[in-house]
Amino acid sequence: MQITLRTMRRACLTLALCGLALTARSQQADEQDKALTPDEKTYILSKFWSEVKYNFVYFNQIGEARWDSLYRAYLPKVQQTPDNRAFYNEMRRFCALLKDGHTNIMWNNYPCITTFFDQLQWYISDIEGKAIVTSINELNRKRIPIGTEIVKVNGLPTQTYLEQHVLPLFSSSTDYARRDMAVSRMLQGLRGESYDVELLTPDKKTLKLHLTHKIQEPVYSDPLYPKEDEWKRLELKWYPGNVAYVALNTFSNPAIVDDFVKIFPTLQQRAKKLIIDLRYNGGGSTECGASILKYLTPDTLLTGSKWCTRDYAASYAAWGEYMTPEDTVGDSWSQRCYLTARGEYYVGHDIYTVSIPPSHPRLVVPTVVLIDHNTASAAEDFLILADGQKHFTKIGRPSNGSTGQPIVIDLGHGFSARICTKKDTYADGRLFVGCGVQPDIVVEPTVKDLIKGRDGQLEAALKFLKKQK
């Protein structure tokens, strides 16, 4: 079963590649990449700092005093950066302190290269706490077998290198998602930049390589091993016992609902058991997932997440500035003033629900939902809506632990930011942002399974369903 291998590469592509097209840069991009002045750097940092204060829904977790202190500490850091790239990285470090997967700093036309080098192309993933080669071009597959571990980078143990140079750059709501991103991109760099790496192959041989970022032949057109299947929004497979496997790989395109509707008559007629694979669904529209879930539940009402957002009105803040907690007892107006002055007044508190007509076509059979660290955002909303479905069992690893509604802020000079404005919880207040939706049965990927080409999570699902009646 090659699902783990090809989807690992797909996840790396989604999370790690900045794009080969970035090498062909427009005149506008060149204008954006002119060396920023200290004043321009100060403006970009200041605008982001200010927008976070009023828009970031989890601002209470860092607090105004700490955020202001960090801003003052980063002012000289960003002003003294030697070039735009160093400035970008300082901005990323500043943003990452917010610890949110829907809050990021972006730089248009950043010409980074992630997986191409003069000698090879490869993809790296975090497996069992190690940086493991999960796929590699055919020219190098015998010299550097799948399952090889990167044990040193530029003379440092890999863990030390990650902690010092990579992990601080990544914004994430969960430590494991942050590490996944960092490992997959830890050798990212500009064309011509080099790394010295030390490898340990599965048969315990040590290799030392000097790698320089290039996109050239024969590496550029050399196929990857294992061979990657064509990506599809939806994938349908059948396993013995009329077990249907349906991979829902995105909710970003409404066509995924049409794809599912097309196959549903076949599922309804044939499927005795069902596997829904959300392991590589990074989200999109909550409504896409809800529209599909309508076909897979006996219920007429689905209850999703409860959400809220911060609300600021200057007059209320002025009225509340000198209020104390005692002033707010039994007085909703005073409560609003007091909380607004402290940036902690929230509105919304609505629960997302989905009504389903009793006549709606359905398939209610023993169902496994495969989840993993890449199951994020709207895919997590699907899991919240499905919470409590007695015929559903979640297998895999905790989901990404990040959802919300980001606002996009133009910071100027080709820089922009996403800032999360919406807090989501289970309807009863349970958290999943920051900790992930938890599987009912935990199955961790292993290096041994990777080498053998086995999908341990899928095999666990099939084994589980075999016991269900």
DSSP string, 286-325: HHHHHHHHGGG-S-SEEEEEEEEEE---HHHHHHHTT--G
The amino acid at residue 128 is E
β pairing state of 367-371 and 392-396 = parallel
> How many Cα atoms are found within 13 Å in the side-chain-facing hemisphere of 279?
31
Query: What residues contact 420, with CB distance under 8 A and at least 6 apart?
Result: 56, 57, 58, 100, 102, 103, 404, 405, 406
- Could you tell me the pTM of the whole model? 0.91
Distance CA 322, CA 319 (A): 7
Q: What is the DSSP letter of 349?
A: E
- Residues 338-345: contacts with CB under 8 Å, at least 24 apart: 340/311, 340/312, 340/313, 340/316, 341/316, 341/317, 343/53, 343/54, 343/59, 343/60, 343/64, 343/310, 343/312, 344/60, 344/310, 345/310, 345/311, 345/312, 345/316
Q: Cα–Cα distances in Å, from 301 out to 171, 293, 361? A: 35, 11, 14
275 three-class SS: strand
Bridge pairing between strands 392-396 and 441-442: parallel
Segments of 191-294 assigned E as strands: 194-200, 206-212, 224-225, 234-239, 243-248, 273-277
Tell me how many degrees the CA angle 377-381-382 measures, rounded to the nearest 5.
120
Q: Given 3-state DSSP classes, what are the helix, strand and coil percentages for the chain, each rounded to the nearest 5?
A: 35, 25, 40
- Cα dihedral across residues 367, 373, 379, 385: positive or negative: positive
Task: Write down the residue that tokens 């006549």 correspond to.
Answer: 359
Give the closest residue to 152 by CA, choosing from 210, 115, 193, 196.
Answer: 196
Residue type at position 410: D
Which residues in the chain show pLDDT less than 70? 1-33
Sequence-distant (6+) residues with CB within 8 A of 2 are 226, 229, 453, 455
Residues 6 or more apart whose Cβ sits within 8 Å of residue 262: none
Q: Which residue has the tokens 């599965």?
A: 202
* 400, 437 contact by CB (below 8 A): no
DSSP type of residue 56: -
Burial class (CB in 10 A: 0-12, 13-18, 19+), 152: middle
Name the one residue in this structure whose structure tokens are 């009793």.
358
In sequence order, which residues have a C-beta less than 8 Å from that of residue 39 and are 6 or more positions away?
Answer: none
Q: Would you give the DSSP letter of residue 117? A: -
